Chains A and B, each alone.
Chain A
């Protein structure tokens, strides 16, 4: 019979997997999403169309299907990835697409006057985006990015389908073995703790970026 301490320790191990997927996905999908959003608004039609198609594909199919597809299809194509690699690839591609659309809306929310002012001051397109548009965009997109980030914490639990021992799968295993609901409650508390930290962090970020518009 496992004591509650053992249960919590096992679940902390599961949390490690959950956090690993979460952090790596976020760190990779945010810049990738930014690049995709810039491609999406690019005047190069083929590039813009290609990104549009990618976003449609990623948003139009279940994340679960994408996970399974990457997990089973890549080995068939002769590409061997560790389980976590396959999971990460699917998560990053999926989340980058959502972030791309959020960033695009944020970029388009910056007024034309800002581009014109930058242009009359001699700034290049790259400088204008980097120094004028993107910093203002970040302020506007923090609330939706915060939303997606919290979704990501919970979406990590989908990896149970790939037999990876994340927080939820560990909890379920113990529940099935012990006929005790406590692990589910503990899992809920762990998820809540993670989303609490995120909510707090985004609130700080919003305050920081909001300092210029009262």
Chain B
């Protein structure tokens, strides 16, 4: 402790517009190794877009993105942002796993096939090599007995836990969560949050876009409040939730709690 912690993701002055709509107006943030960063804010505030810029599901208009010390996108001398070549980009993005609001499991594959797909076909690992890890991950998320089921047979909460296991099967250093419980019935959010909490306890670096204030407060090390495409306020969860500085933050939290 006390040492300079390794920076896993750094965004610098990220700007992004959709058409004439400026959705991100200069985002700066850092994610440290082993840290859980929660991004909260009203819908349309740009929090999901910020997350999606980290793994290039959206491309930024300007600014720079560093993944574990290497540039994914970098501003050149003239202030124009250029992305790394596709090989570098692919290598950097392989450090990150992502969990989506809508799970996005592959419906034509069983739970186990969902987990094995990328390790075998992207990382070119052998089935013998991956299978023990995949089985361990399924046990960890409590779905080993569902290994041969198709996703359509699972509840939303189970599907999301499989999606987490699928991302983990690629052995990422950073996990991105895009409103992972927003599509779930209230009684199913608990099991997903529990899995995420366990992941945090294993010191996984996590960036979580969420509406679950209790989760953000309890599990996150750092919380960012966004509105209108900008970061309004950030800090330790205890401070931000109990004693926010900004009026917007206060108003938002009052509405949520």
Q: Which residues of A contact B (CB under 8 A)?
A: 111, 113-114, 116-117, 119-123, 127, 131-132, 135-136, 139, 209, 211-214
Contact = CB atoms under 8 A, between A and B. Distances in A.
Contacts of A116: 57, 98, 100, 104
B104 A119 contact: no
Interface string B119-130: 001110000000
Contacts of B104: 111, 113-114, 116-117
Given A135-B108, A136-B107, A139-B108, A120 B55 contact: yes
Interface residues of B, number: 28
12 contacts: A111-B102, A111-B104, A116-B98, A117-B98, A120-B96, A120-B98, A120-B167, A121-B117, A121-B118, A136-B107, A212-B109, A213-B152
A113 B100 contact: yes
Contacts of B170: 121-122
Given A212-B152, A214-B153, 12 more contacts: A117-B98, A117-B100, A120-B167, A121-B122, A122-B122, A123-B122, A127-B122, A135-B108, A136-B107, A213-B150, A213-B152, A214-B152
B108 A113 contact: no
B83 interface: no
B150 A120 contact: no
Contacts of B122: 121-123, 127
A208 to B, nearest CB: 11
B106 interface: yes
Given A122-B122, A122-B170, A213 B107 contact: yes
Contacts of B152: 212-214
Contacts of B102: 111, 113
Nearest to A123: B122
A128 to B, nearest CB: 10
A120 B107 contact: no
A120 B106 contact: no
Contact of B118 (A113, A123, A135): A123
Given A122-B94, A131-B121, A211 B150 contact: yes
A122 B100 contact: no
Contacts of A131: 117, 121
B204 to A, nearest CB: 16
A76 B122 CA distance: 52
A11 B251 CA distance: 83
A127 B106 contact: no
Interface in B101-142: 102, 104-109, 117-118, 121-123
B166 interface: yes
Contacts of B100: 113, 116-117
Contacts of B107: 136, 212-213
